């Protein structure tokens, strides 16, 4: 996917967004024991729309682990454990604190 910005083109990398979306659907989608028919997930809608979203380290750890990707930095004892992160529209993931709000 590419976006036009100021006369140039840049690639938007939504790999983390897709990993989070796939994990959310696996855990809460129609085939999940936690699925609630008719309920619209604001989290899922934000991921689909490409909106900026704040994600905690536990959610990242689970999504990465289920995708078979390195997750240890987000697990207990990891350098990003108990952190929060902003997943921006362009797919970048940065540490987030309430002061950034």
Query: What's the number of CA atoms in the CB half-sphere (13 Å) around residue 22?
Result: 13
Q: Output the pLDDT for position 99.
A: 72
Res 101: pLDDT: 56
Q: How far is CA 36 from CA 2, 19, 27, 47, 86, in A?
A: 35, 22, 12, 19, 27
Note down pLDDT in tens along the chain; length 101 residues: 344 344 444 455 679 999 999 999 999 888 888 888 888 889 999 999 999 999 999 999 999 999 999 999 999 999 999 999 999 999 899 998 877 55
Residue 83: the pLDDT is: 94
């Amino acid at each position: 996917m590419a976006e036009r910005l100021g006369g140039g083109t840049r690639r938007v990398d939504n790999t983390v967004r897709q990993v989070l979306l796939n994990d959310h659907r696996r855990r809460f989608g129609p085939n999940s024991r936690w699925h609630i028919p008719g309920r619209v997930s604001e989290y899922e809608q934000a991921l689909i729309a490409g909106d900026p979203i704040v994600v905690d380290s536990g959610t990242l750890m689970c999504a990465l682990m289920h995708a078979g990707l390195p997750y240890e930095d987000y697990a207990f004892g990891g350098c990003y454990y108990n952190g929060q992160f902003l997943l921006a529209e362009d797919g970048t993931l940065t540490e987030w604190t309430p002061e950034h709000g």
